[in-house]
Amino acid sequence: MTPSASSGQALRQAQDRPQIIDRTSGLGAQPTPDFEEQRRHWEERSARGRRRRGPGSGAVDRTISDVPLKVAYDPSDVADLDPARDLAWPGAYPYTRGIHANGYRDRLWTMRQFAGFGTAAQTNARYHFLLAQGQHGLSVAFDMPTLMGYDSDAAQARGEVGKCGVAIDSLADMELLFDGIDMADITTSMTINGPACIALAQYVAAAEKKGIPRAKLGGTIQADILKEYIAQKEWIFPPRPHMRIIVDMIDFCTREMPKWNTISISGYHIREAGSTAAQELAFTLADGFAYVEACMAAGMDVDSFAPRLSFFFNSHIDFFEEIAKFRAARRIYARHMREKYGARNPRSWQLRFHTQTAGCSATAQQPENNIVRVAFEAMAAVLGGTQSLHTNSMDEVLALPTEKSVEIALRTQQVLAYETNVTNVVDPLGGSYYVEALTAEMERQAESYFAQIAEYGGVIEAIEAGFFQREIAEASYRYQRSIEAKERIVVGVNAFAKDEEAAEIELLKITEETERGQARAVQAVRQGRDGASVASSLDRLQAACRDPKDNLMPHLIDSVNAYCTEGEIVEAMAKVYGRYTETAVV
């Protein structure tokens, strides 16, 4: 059959049938009703539905953070939005739509699972496993004594060694932690704040012992002490000397570690402590600006250090609110960095961030459900344009995660990255009436908090007055009450619960032998080193603590190289700085 014969036949058949007159092109069509008339129709239908639904139907008209929501959003909600001013294009100021012109097409986010438990040798084995599974970078979780500046054999450490993370007492442990891992090839994130300067010194020293110069080290260290006073409560010294330590670290890294992200300014813990999304956003950015101001006050040029500042946010379960929060964060940061702090380098305007799914949204009841929550939260982070992501494991609400549950969490990211296609288009929710309105609302609430913090005289003054702590405690209690009243449903907790004692999932347990073994190990380190260089390096460190002009970092590297333990170094510094105690706010 030839093509012309075939089409002639088809034409004849069509002529025999009743005709359909297509008016969709507009000519002769019904007139389109006026948009406002359409609105009135919709409002009537919506009101009828609301009457039928009646009170107490469980319908929630607020976000999880108590932001009032409309039933539907329309162009009037974004009437004030100026696309050129407020959105621009991906990769352009004010970066609402992301910091990269091509989003994830050029570069996927970094899949980075936070891990650490027991001894350095045990965690080292977990790192080898994670790298073999395709993870891109390492993320060190330290145990409580390490985070609070105590050695594993200290009285304060009893029961805590290796429980929440890995115990690192001295350079010897840090060397063991990275045994067999090419520190020039991977990036490492270290979640530690009070003693961050010591952990950084240990990391540099461990790499240099392998022959890798500090300039080649990539990664980040949290070192965000302000949110410790606000939410996480792992401080050592009072706020002002702690700020000096952070400024010294940023200054040192800026000069000597060009690939290192100097600080990870964190909202994660603020949110976990019970804040709203807007509080997380506002308090975190306020902390960030406080570090910028402290570095500038110490004489640093904003464009010398700002490109290496990074952020860390929580991704909670209220999907669109989280996406709006991430978008607002970039816009607010860019505006303040350019307009208030006078940064001229575009990299100084770009807010880069890591995200972790919300531990506090996980439930002990039916823990497998947490896999699903994590998947939604991870997608919100990706639609919000995160640079790296940690997905929580389903069993973290009960104990440290097992290898199996960590693998599922990592696979969740891989499915998101390679199967869902959400990575193909940059900022896919940009222009959504709802998401744009919520983004603007987040920015408005954050600016209002900045004004309140300024009234206290700044972040440190607001901490001392208990402002953040009170705001968070209020929000957290309000949220808990809404769960109790079943205004909000948590599956498996206040609805769809099952009568079972607890899930039968395998849990990872850290034994008491870990604590005894680690205590013996740190004692062996103390016995095997040169006592004279320990004493002299600590003397020089103390002298530097008294002299604000002398950067602490080189002295800290000397001390860790002499195998001074973390507890000894903290003790020496506390003799100059004192220790912080909080007035508890309920």
Closer to another protein by CB, 81 or 398: give it: 398
Strand order in the sheet with 218-221: 114-115, 138-141, 187-191, 218-221, 260-261
Among 226, 400, 417, 463, the residue binding another protein under the rule CB under 8 A is 400
Q: Give the nearest distance from C-beta 106 to another protein in angstroms.
A: 39
Q: Give the nearest distance from C-beta 382 to another protein in angstroms.
A: 26
Among 145, 195, 241, 307, the residue binding another protein under the rule CB under 8 A is 145
Number of shown-chain residues binding another protein (CB under 8 A): 47
Does position 489 interact with another protein (CB under 8 A)? The reply is no
Closer to another protein by CB, 234 or 251: give it: 234
Contact window for another protein (CB under 8 A) among 119-127, 153-161, 219-227, 342-350:
153-161
C-beta of residue 111 within 8 angstroms of C-beta of residue 410? yes
Strand order in the sheet with 263-266: 110-111, 388-390, 353-357, 309-315, 263-266
Among 122, 133, 345, 363, the residue binding another protein under the rule CB under 8 A is 363
Q: Give the nearest distance from C-beta 503 to another protein in angstroms.
A: 9
Q: Which of residues 178-237 bind another protein (CB under 8 A)?
A: 228, 232-234
What are the structure tokens assigned to 44, written together?
């009537």
Does position 584 interact with another protein (CB under 8 A)? The reply is yes
Q: Give the nearest distance from C-beta 499 to another protein in angstroms.
A: 14
Contact window for another protein (CB under 8 A) among 39-47, 362-370, 434-442, 560-568:
362-370
Among 108, 120, 164, 380, the residue binding another protein under the rule CB under 8 A is 164
What 8-state DSSP symbol labels residue 84?
I
63 vs 96: CA distance, rounded Å: 21
Strand partners, 388: 110, 354
409 vs 407: CA distance, rounded Å: 5
Q: Give the nearest distance from C-beta 235 to another protein in angstroms.
A: 9
Q: Which of residues 124-143 bind another protein (CB under 8 A)?
A: none
246 vs 378: CA distance, rounded Å: 30
What are the structure tokens assigned to 110, written together?
């970094």
Does position 399 interact with another protein (CB under 8 A)? The reply is yes
C-beta of residue 194 within 8 angstroms of C-beta of residue 148? yes
Among 69, 121, 360, 576, the residue binding another protein under the rule CB under 8 A is 360
Contacts of 220 (CB under 8 A, 6+ apart): 187, 188, 189, 190, 260, 261, 262, 263, 264, 310, 354
Does position 398 interact with another protein (CB under 8 A)? The reply is yes
Closer to another protein by CB, 153 or 160: give it: 160
Closer to another protein by CB, 22 or 500: give it: 500
Does position 157 interact with another protein (CB under 8 A)? The reply is yes
CA 170 to chain centre: 27
Does position 144 interact with another protein (CB under 8 A)? The reply is yes
Closer to another protein by CB, 142 or 333: give it: 142
Which is nearest to 140 in space by CA: 177, 171, 169, 194? 177
Q: Which of residues 262-281 bind another protein (CB under 8 A)?
A: 272-274
Q: Are strands 388-390 and 110-111 parallel, antiparallel or unpaired?
A: parallel
Closer to another protein by CB, 123 or 387: give it: 123
Closer to another protein by CB, 262 or 469: give it: 469
Closer to another protein by CB, 489 or 524: give it: 489
The phi and psi torsions of 259 (rounded to 5 degrees) equal: -95, 0
Does position 491 interact with another protein (CB under 8 A)? The reply is no
Which is nearest to 286 in space by CA: 457, 483, 501? 457
Does position 158 interact with another protein (CB under 8 A)? The reply is yes
Closer to another protein by CB, 476 or 542: give it: 476
What are the structure tokens assigned to 285, written together?
């950015």
Residue labelled with tokens 């599922």: 408
Among 112, 163, 336, 373, the residue binding another protein under the rule CB under 8 A is 163
Looking at beta carbons, which pairs linking 439-442 to residues 24 or more positions away fall under 8 Å? Answer: 439/96, 439/324, 439/327, 439/328, 439/331, 440/78, 440/80, 440/81, 440/86, 440/328, 441/67, 441/324, 442/277, 442/278, 442/281, 442/321, 442/324, 442/325, 442/327, 442/328
243 vs 308: CA distance, rounded Å: 17
* CB crowding 349-360: b at 16 or more within 10 Å, else e: bbbbbbbbbbee
Does position 421 interact with another protein (CB under 8 A)? The reply is no
The phi and psi torsions of 213 (rounded to 5 degrees) equal: -70, 150
Q: Which of residues 500-529 bind another protein (CB under 8 A)?
A: 501-502, 507, 509-510
Closer to another protein by CB, 423 or 494: give it: 494
Q: CB burial class (10 A; 0-12, 13-18, 19+) of residue 444? A: exposed
Q: Give the nearest distance from C-beta 362 to another protein in angstroms.
A: 8
Among 473, 534, 574, 576, the residue binding another protein under the rule CB under 8 A is 473
90's torsion region: left (phi>0), alpha (psi -120 to 50) or beta? beta
Closer to another protein by CB, 94 or 118: give it: 118
Q: Give the nearest distance from C-beta 176 to another protein in angstroms.
A: 21
Q: E strands within 225-369?
A: 260-261, 263-266, 309-315, 353-357
Does position 147 interact with another protein (CB under 8 A)? The reply is yes
Does position 324 interact with another protein (CB under 8 A)? The reply is no
Among 184, 364, 415, 489, the residue binding another protein under the rule CB under 8 A is 364
Does position 402 interact with another protein (CB under 8 A)? The reply is no
Closer to another protein by CB, 187 or 222: give it: 222
Q: Are strands 138-141 and 353-357 parallel, antiparallel or unpaired?
A: unpaired
Does position 70 interact with another protein (CB under 8 A)? The reply is no
Instruction: For the chain, give the longest Cα–Cα distance.
Output: 106
The residues binding another protein (CB under 8 A) are 144-145, 147-148, 150, 156-160, 163-164, 228, 232-234, 272-274, 360, 362-365, 397-400, 473, 476-477, 480-481, 484, 490, 492-494, 501-502, 507, 509-510, 582-584, 586
